[in-house]
Amino acid sequence: MTASSVRTATKRNPFATRPAPLASDSIAQTGEYTIFGLARSVDESVMRDRRIGFTLILFGVATLIAVLYTAERYAYSRFVGEAISIRKLVPAELIFTYAWALLTPPVMFVAKRFPVWGASQRLRNWGVQVAALAAFVVVHAALCSLVMAAVAPGTAFREFPTLFGNTVLSWTVVDAIVFCALVTVHHAVVYYRVSKDRALRTSQLEARLAQTQLHMLRMQLQPHFLFNTLHSISALMHKDVRRADSMIAALSDLLRMSLQNIGAQEVPLQSELDFLQRYVEIMSLRFGDRLRVSIDVDPETRDARVPNLFLQPLVENSFRHGFGDLGQGSVVIAVRREGDMLVCDVKDDGRGLRSGHKEGLGLASTRQRLAHLYGDQHTFSLRGAPGQGVHVTMAIPFQPSEPDLTAAD
């Protein structure tokens, strides 16, 4: 077997490996869309249903236009005193508009294959579209003339050239307008689907980002917090068994509660307060009277929806960075409703913000999650000066929790 025959056999081999299709979540180009959607991500049965629906709509619109043309021509014929029978007008107009409907798929195929907007070879595509417009006019006139010559009484096929010429002269402008309208509708629908799909994809990516940030926040909290808590329990076991036992119970409750809302972006404020209370209880057992925490919550806000795991990082930030090296301090947490907003303040009397302060993972993640969940409908501010503590204020839309949001998993 020669080398050329080997290459031929390889080229024609039906079992040859084909390039792998694009992943369903990869970014699609505009040219991959049709009026039925992104073909590679739509089930064949769905695509078939869309084609059937499109066909029904297409011929429905064609029928409506034929009825309107018939009414207009009939009214005009009566006005000039030369009434034309409805039985003659309806078939003629249906033939005319149904020919448009039959030519619509080829027009949209050319519009997809040679787009006139946003294409790299725009001049060539415009030339193709002008040629397609001329072909549309000619083919439409030919179809109408051929059918009229076949079905119209008293008309012979030898009159086809005359019918064709009259149709071209009479309807070229209308056909050109219809062609441009079809191309415009195709581009409008395609770009609508593109924008809709990309908006959905952006929302999904933002949700994944928020989920990842929440997971990272948990991963940062749990090892660090568990290590310190277990170390404190180990030290207390030889000094104060009852206090160590209370810390173990509080830690157990905290871990159990942390598992209840895994994956949830929002939880009731009461659930967040319960989680914070267990955290504060453990910290109080560790530091004793050196740590003072005050929680003031408006009762009507306890069922409001808030970001999952947003209070604990703020309070921990006060413990670790506010007065961790001072050995003592106080934190005040206040939650209230102001109109349509839920306002939360976390204040401490620690060392404040130093010059060149940079936000850590907890604050940065909180900012990003708030931006994802509430967009420009939220505020988040961090204020403080050396020796004057830190004041964090967050305001989000007040939204009562759904009944099932409070259910434990």
Residues 22 and 312: their CA atoms lie apart, in Å, by 42
Which helix (H) or strand (E) segment holds residue 292: the answer is strand 291-297
What tokens appear for 122 in the block?
């725009």
Residues 212 and 220: their CA atoms lie apart, in Å, by 12
322 contacts: CB under 8 Å, gap ≥ 6: 329, 331, 348, 349, 350, 351, 352, 389, 390
Residues 301 and 315: their CA atoms lie apart, in Å, by 19
Could you tell me the CA-to-CA distances from 327 to 48, 67, 221, 288 in Å, in that order?
Answer: 70, 87, 21, 11
Average pLDDT of span 339-368: 81
Residues 244 and 395: their CA atoms lie apart, in Å, by 38
Where does 237-293 have alpha helices with state H? 241-260, 269-287
Average pLDDT of span 68-89: 78
Confidence tier at 37 by pLDDT (50, 70, 90): low
Question: Among 394, 317, 299, 310, which residue's Cα sits nearest to residue 353?
Answer: 317
| Residue carrying structure tokens 């506010």 | 322
pLDDT of residue 324: 60
β-pair type (390-397, 341-348)? antiparallel
* DSSP character at residue 300: G
Residues 204 and 33: their CA atoms lie apart, in Å, by 20
Average pLDDT of span 345-371: 79
What tokens appear for 240 in the block?
């104060």
pLDDT of residue 393: 94
pLDDT of residue 154: 60
Residue that wins the pLDDT comparison between 280 and 353: 280
Q: Taking 90 as the threshold, does the pLDDT of residue 48 lie above it?
A: no
Residue 211 burial class via C-beta count within 10 angstroms: exposed 0-12, middle 13-18, buried 19 and up? middle
Q: Taking 50 as the threshold, does the pLDDT of residue 2 lie above it?
A: no
387 contacts: CB under 8 Å, gap ≥ 6: 351, 352
For the stretch 200-218, pLDDT in tens is: 777 766 666 566 555 555 5
Could you tell me the CA-to-CA distances from 197 to 19, 71, 76, 227 in Å, in that order?
Answer: 24, 41, 47, 45
HSE-CB of 121 using CA atoms within 13 angstroms: 8
Of 22-26, 287-291, 399-403, the range with the lowest mean pLDDT is: 22-26
β-pair type (305-307, 341-348)? unpaired
pLDDT of residue 3: 42
Residue 248 burial class via C-beta count within 10 angstroms: exposed 0-12, middle 13-18, buried 19 and up? middle
For the stretch 224-248, pLDDT in tens is: 666 677 777 787 777 778 888 888 8
Whether the CB-CB separation of 149 and 157 falls below 8 Å is answered with yes
Give percent of the chain above pLDDT 70.
74
Query: Rounded mean pLDDT of the chain?
Result: 76
What tokens appear for 275 in the block?
């989680």
Q: Taking 90 as the threshold, does the pLDDT of residue 189 lie above it?
A: no
For the stretch 106-122, pLDDT in tens is: 988 888 888 877 656 77
Residues 350 and 344: their CA atoms lie apart, in Å, by 19
What tokens appear for 219 in the block?
């991963």
In order of their start, the domains of the chain are 32-202 (no CATH), 237-403 (3.30.565.10)
Give percent of the chain above pLDDT 90.
13
For the stretch 270-284, pLDDT in tens is: 988 988 888 888 888
pLDDT of residue 59: 87
